[in-house]
Chain A
Amino acid sequence: MALMPNGPALDGPGHKLKLHWRSSRHARRLLTLGVAGVFIATLARRPEYAGVAAPALLLLAAGRVQRRPLRVTVRVRPSSGRAFEGESVAVDLLVEGHGDAYVRWTLHPGLVIDPVGGTTADGAQARFIISPERWGRRPIGTVDVVLRDRWRLAEGHATVTLPRLDCYPAPADQRTTVVLRRLPNRLGEHPARTSGEGIEFFGVREYVPGDRQRSINWPASTRRGRLQVNTFAAERSQDVVLLADATSDVGAPGSSALDLALRGVAAAARAYLDARDRVGVITYQWGGASWLVPGLGRRQVYRIIDSMLTSPVLANTVLANTVLANTGGYARGTSFRRLPRAALPPGALVVVFSPLIDQRFVEALRDMRERGFTMLVVDVLNAEPPDRRRSADRMARRIWRMEQEAIRFSLRELGVPVVHWDGVQSLDLPLAGHTRRPLAARR
């Protein structure tokens, strides 16, 4: 009998499970010894074999008078419904109504769920530690509950289905951010190229009535003979749209292009939101794209990851998330022209994580570039066609490489920087050439 618990608390309402009792292996072995002893004693007329059979038959007879529970109540509580890849989650289990029976739990973890420590436990309460290996909505698995009576002659079996676990892609390491040259007129933390009320020195100008005395630059005033005041750069924020290409997933599971794209998006979202930028996400797949409008705050990181995991293009599920119902959506078509203005604000910085394999996606990038968006492409392709001996295979491999180089060259010619990321090193390294100075959009 399976159980799908919906209450996280162990003290909440439990779920009754019907136990299926059957004789244990121990009982069958005792029965074999008893029957064989009596059989030999009868045939060979040797009473000592009846004595051999006596202890086994006594144990079996004693076990028959035991009362066994027909139903038990099992409570399940995972320590968290969400976890990052590789993070540990504890699952607590409690059985009630088992009487004086011994309880044994055996965990059968689901796909890409790695049990930390043992998979068996004894006692009325048990705790299993699991660790999801790969992102996605994963069923944790099932737990077999085996009750043994105190004579250990019968076993009651039941199965508990553990709840699902939302596994988030483990964010890569990124601390620096790419900043646009022209920033929208919105308060933020990036020094803009206009004077304002920031803290970064911008220039010196002549004093006008109303300026604060503390901003007077006395050395400059002494040199010029008139009062000079310091001016400071304005501080602005930017809109950042992270674009995850889910059209193709190549490479080994766990380090495939899609894995790297999602981890890169998570890292970039965290880095830009730490810099008080508004960050949104678009997940692109053949035939459509799901999107989440740019937003602020720490929770936006989780909204972004949730939107990717619940995206129809990745999860093949309907958009049930209330967050997405208000601020996100799904648009059909292979062009980003169909996306609403809120999802792709004009003047936003677009950071693309893609293996650049799908030609339609590359065409969509070109179209976006021609519409004036400032873009940066992070190439997450780390796989190649297999290296084989046949000349035709070698030729195909060379042609494939040339195509890839041509795609990247064409994007660079359009003014779209393309950097390669292997998924191992920090994202700061490939982005270093663009984080030290503002990124300018060439028209």
Chain B
Amino acid sequence: MTGRAGFLTRAWRAGAARGTASLVGAALIGAGCLAWAAEPAAHRGWAGFALFLAIAGVAAGVLRLALAAVPVPEESYLVSMPLRAWLRFGEILRQVPWEEGALVAILWLEVLHRARPWHTAVLGAGLIAYLLTTHLAESDASVGALRPQARVLAIGAGLLALGAGAGMLPALTPGAGSALLRLLAAGALIVAAGLVLPHAAPRGVGAGSSGYTKGDAEPGASLERGGLRRGEPGGKIGQAGR
């Protein structure tokens, strides 16, 4: 790998673009889930409020991720009013669980429509992807960090498909009994999966299974950026540590 390609690879591994990619991904997936659940527009059951809540939750969640790296001054007593207002805004942004609110609002928007199992299943997959991408963005990790969860996520996808299939099955006889039967079947599937899960999950994670790229844990990575070499700091004065 030469020239520009090599540089781009190094920059990508160093995490310069990873945070931005995760952030953009979270924003796009969140907006996609929102649009998927809200279309077509419903006009009952507080649909407008749920839509507002979902938009606010997704937007504020993305804003929180984008502003996570902005440092907060230790001393906030003698700061100006605009700066104090900004600090207060940042504090609210960090403390309120925006994503949880967005999840509930999006599910509520989906509930307002008539039953459409395949549509709901796609939304469920999108919501899981939204949560995972949001977590990657806030922990500044790569997609590889989710590798240990891949098997469980695959089982979850199977259950999601089963749930959608159960929803699409025609009732044997019309009435509440058949619907309850389907619900019990889906619940039994979840319980069964929970029981077999300890056997399905991988026991240990080797050194190579870490999702972090090598640049993350390199102690000398920041050193190279600063142009510093070991033993250089304080060298004018004396030996390391008195």
Inter-chain contact A80/B233, CB cutoff 8 Å: yes
The 8 A CB mask of B135-178 against A (1 = contact, 0 = none) is 10011110001001100110111011111101100000000100
Interface of chain A, helix or strand or loop or mixed? Answer: mixed
Inter-chain contact A42/B183, CB cutoff 8 Å: yes
B97 at the binding interface (Cβ < 8 Å): yes
Interchain residue pairs with CB less than 8 A apart (6): A53-B190, A56-B131, A65-B201, A80-B238, A89-B234, A129-B228
A207 at the binding interface (Cβ < 8 Å): no
Q: Which of A114-122, A185-193, A403-411, A432-440 touches B?
A: A114-122
A78 at the binding interface (Cβ < 8 Å): yes
Chain B residues closer than 8 Å to A45, beta-carbon distance: 176, 179-180, 182-183
Q: Which of A33, A111, A117, A118 has the most CB of B within 10 A?
A: A33
Given contacts A48-B117, A77-B241, A80-B240, 12 further A-B contacts (CB under 8 A): A8-B240, A42-B183, A46-B120, A50-B186, A54-B160, A55-B124, A55-B160, A79-B232, A87-B233, A90-B223, A100-B205, A128-B222
Inter-chain contact A168/B237, CB cutoff 8 Å: yes
Inter-chain contact B223/A58, CB cutoff 8 Å: no
| Separation of A169 and B134 alpha carbons in the complex (Å) | 45
A355 at the binding interface (Cβ < 8 Å): no
Inter-chain contact B234/A36, CB cutoff 8 Å: no
Chain A residues closer than 8 Å to B226, beta-carbon distance: 88, 116-117, 129
Interface set, chain A 37-79, CB cutoff 8 A to B: 37, 40-42, 44-59, 61-62, 65, 77-79
Chain A residues closer than 8 Å to B238, beta-carbon distance: 80, 82, 302
Inter-chain contact A50/B190, CB cutoff 8 Å: yes
Chain A residues closer than 8 Å to B111, beta-carbon distance: 40, 44, 46, 49
In the complex with contacts A87-B236, A88-B228, A58-B185 CB distance below 8 A: no
In the complex with contacts A26-B131, A44-B111, A150-B148 CB distance below 8 A: yes
Residue of A nearest to B161 (CB): A51
In the complex with contacts A29-B99, A58-B197, A121-B219, A80-B235 CB distance below 8 A: yes
- Choose from A41, A58, A111, A148 the contact partner of B152 (Cβ within 8 Å): A58
| Separation of A123 and B221 alpha carbons in the complex (Å) | 12
B210 at the binding interface (Cβ < 8 Å): yes
| Separation of A42 and B182 alpha carbons in the complex (Å) | 11
- Choose from B159, B179, B222 the contact partner of A51 (Cβ within 8 Å): B159
Inter-chain contact B153/A59, CB cutoff 8 Å: yes
| Separation of A358 and B216 alpha carbons in the complex (Å) | 55
Chain A residues closer than 8 Å to B228, beta-carbon distance: 88, 90, 116, 129
Inter-chain contact B124/A52, CB cutoff 8 Å: yes
A32 at the binding interface (Cβ < 8 Å): yes
Interface set, chain A 95-141, CB cutoff 8 A to B: 100, 102, 104, 111, 116-129
A429 at the binding interface (Cβ < 8 Å): no
Chain B residues closer than 8 Å to A87, beta-carbon distance: 233-234, 236
- Choose from A32, A59, A88, A100 the contact partner of B100 (Cβ within 8 Å): A32
Chain A residues closer than 8 Å to B145, beta-carbon distance: 102, 152
Inter-chain contact B149/A62, CB cutoff 8 Å: yes
Chain B residues closer than 8 Å to A24, beta-carbon distance: 135
The 8 A CB mask of B180-223 against A (1 = contact, 0 = none) is 10110111011001100110010011000010100011111111
Chain A residues closer than 8 Å to B230, beta-carbon distance: 79, 90
- Choose from B127, B141, B201, B242 the contact partner of A52 (Cβ within 8 Å): B127
B128 at the binding interface (Cβ < 8 Å): yes
B225 at the binding interface (Cβ < 8 Å): yes
Inter-chain contact A41/B219, CB cutoff 8 Å: no
| Separation of A54 and B152 alpha carbons in the complex (Å) | 10
Chain A residues closer than 8 Å to B193, beta-carbon distance: 54, 58
Q: Which of B128, B190, B210 has the most CB of A within 10 A?
A: B190
Smallest beta-carbon distance B187→chain A, Å = 6
Chain A residues closer than 8 Å to B40, beta-carbon distance: none
- Choose from B115, B201, B220, B242 the contact partner of A62 (Cβ within 8 Å): B201
B23 at the binding interface (Cβ < 8 Å): no
Chain B residues closer than 8 Å to A121, beta-carbon distance: 216-217, 219, 221-222
Smallest beta-carbon distance A81→chain B, Å = 4
| Separation of A150 and B225 alpha carbons in the complex (Å) | 29
B55 at the binding interface (Cβ < 8 Å): no
Inter-chain contact A150/B205, CB cutoff 8 Å: yes
B3 at the binding interface (Cβ < 8 Å): no
Chain A residues closer than 8 Å to B160, beta-carbon distance: 51-52, 54-55
Inter-chain contact A152/B236, CB cutoff 8 Å: no
Chain B residues closer than 8 Å to A21, beta-carbon distance: none
Chain A residues closer than 8 Å to B62, beta-carbon distance: none
In the complex with contacts A42-B183, A45-B179, A50-B163 CB distance below 8 A: yes
Inter-chain contact A55/B237, CB cutoff 8 Å: no
Smallest beta-carbon distance B166→chain A, Å = 4
Residue of A nearest to B118 (CB): A48
Inter-chain contact B186/A51, CB cutoff 8 Å: yes
A332 at the binding interface (Cβ < 8 Å): no
Inter-chain contact A84/B107, CB cutoff 8 Å: no
| Separation of A318 and B21 alpha carbons in the complex (Å) | 55
Residue of A nearest to B158 (CB): A54
| Separation of A439 and B193 alpha carbons in the complex (Å) | 93
Interface set, chain A 405-424, CB cutoff 8 A to B: none
| Separation of A213 and B124 alpha carbons in the complex (Å) | 106
- Choose from A49, A81, A124 the contact partner of B241 (Cβ within 8 Å): A81
B231 at the binding interface (Cβ < 8 Å): yes
A398 at the binding interface (Cβ < 8 Å): no
| Separation of A179 and B145 alpha carbons in the complex (Å) | 68
Inter-chain contact B104/A36, CB cutoff 8 Å: yes
| Separation of A100 and B208 alpha carbons in the complex (Å) | 11
- Choose from A44, A59, A79, A117 the contact partner of B233 (Cβ within 8 Å): A79
Chain B residues closer than 8 Å to A77, beta-carbon distance: 240-241
Inter-chain contact B194/A61, CB cutoff 8 Å: yes
- Choose from B140, B189, B219, B234 the contact partner of A54 (Cβ within 8 Å): B189
